[in-house]
Amino acid sequence: LCQYTDHGHCGQVKDHYVDNDATLKLLNKVAVSQAEAGADIVAPSDMMDGRIASIRQALDEEGFINTIIMSYAAKYASGFYGPFRDAADSAPHFGDRRQYQMDPANSREAMKEIDLDLEEGADIIMVKPALSYLDIVYQARQRCQRPIATYNVSGEYAMVKAAARNGWIDEKRIVMEELTSMKRAGADIIITYHAVDVAKWLKNGEVEA
């Protein structure tokens, strides 16, 4: 069981800026509570500085030494999150999240964040979103021997579904091309809303792995 921890639900704001250190304390509490509830993996998506080391220490102190941390190390400020935010009512009520999510034009910062999270003890590195950031997945694969995950997010999923519904594309073919591109770029783990459909297609022999 993997449980993600979203800064949007536990972040502390001071003078219209995210208070990094105060947020870390809350992230620690959330991660420990998730481990106590049975999560095998905690996945902080908050992009706070130092959160991997802080969460690792908190988990270890409570005896959860085998609980895995999957870090959203390279989480970009993207327009592809829209459908999920609308469905979960998680869009910011003021401002936006660009002050702590990464600039889509900046790849070097992603490598710095990945290196820092690895040094702090991350077990799995996440790149999010997937399709527009396959170059980041590839660069991460070149410098990291730990598992690389990528998140095929709601906007990417919605575009495929909408186009398929309108008869513009072959859904099965497009989905398999997209997922293959993520694997080819270096992803060991692909988190995708297409998972149930793909499992069914594979079981029925409708597509090839």
Q: pLDDT digit string (tens) for 119-173? A: 999 999 999 999 999 999 999 999 999 999 999 999 999 999 999 999 999 999 9
Q: In the prediction, which pLDDT does 99 show? A: 56
What does the block give as tokens for 151? Answer: 């998140």
From residue 50, give the alpha-carbon distance in Å to each of 79, 94, 107: 26, 25, 20
Catalytic residue among 14, 29, 112, 128: 128
Q: In the prediction, which pLDDT does 93 show? A: 44
Residues in the chain, pLDDT under 70: 1-18, 82-100
Sign of the C-alpha dihedral, residues 166, 169, 173, 179? negative
What does the block give as tokens for 154? Answer: 């709601």
Q: In the prediction, which pLDDT does 11 show? A: 53
Q: How far apart are the first and last CA of the chain?
A: 24
Q: In the prediction, which pLDDT does 94 show? A: 46
Residues with Cβ < 8 Å from 37, sequence gap 6 or more? Answer: 3
Distance CA 102, CA 48 (A): 11
**Domains of the chain: residue spans and CATH:** 2-152 (3.20.20.70)
Residue type (1 letter), 190: I
From residue 158, give the alpha-carbon distance in Å to each of 90, 96, 107, 161, 175: 17, 22, 26, 5, 12
Active-site annotation holds for 25: no
User: What backbone torsions phi and psi does residue 41 show, to the nearest 5 degrees?
Assistant: -130, 135
Catalytic residue among 14, 25, 29, 75: 75
Q: In the prediction, which pLDDT does 49 show? A: 86
Task: Name the residue with tokens 């990417």.
Answer: 156
Active-site annotation holds for 75: yes
Q: In the prediction, which pLDDT does 97 show? A: 52
Please tell me the pTM assigned to this model. 0.84
Distance CA 7, CA 12 (A): 9
Q: In the prediction, which pLDDT does 12 show? A: 56
Q: In the prediction, which pLDDT does 5 show? A: 59
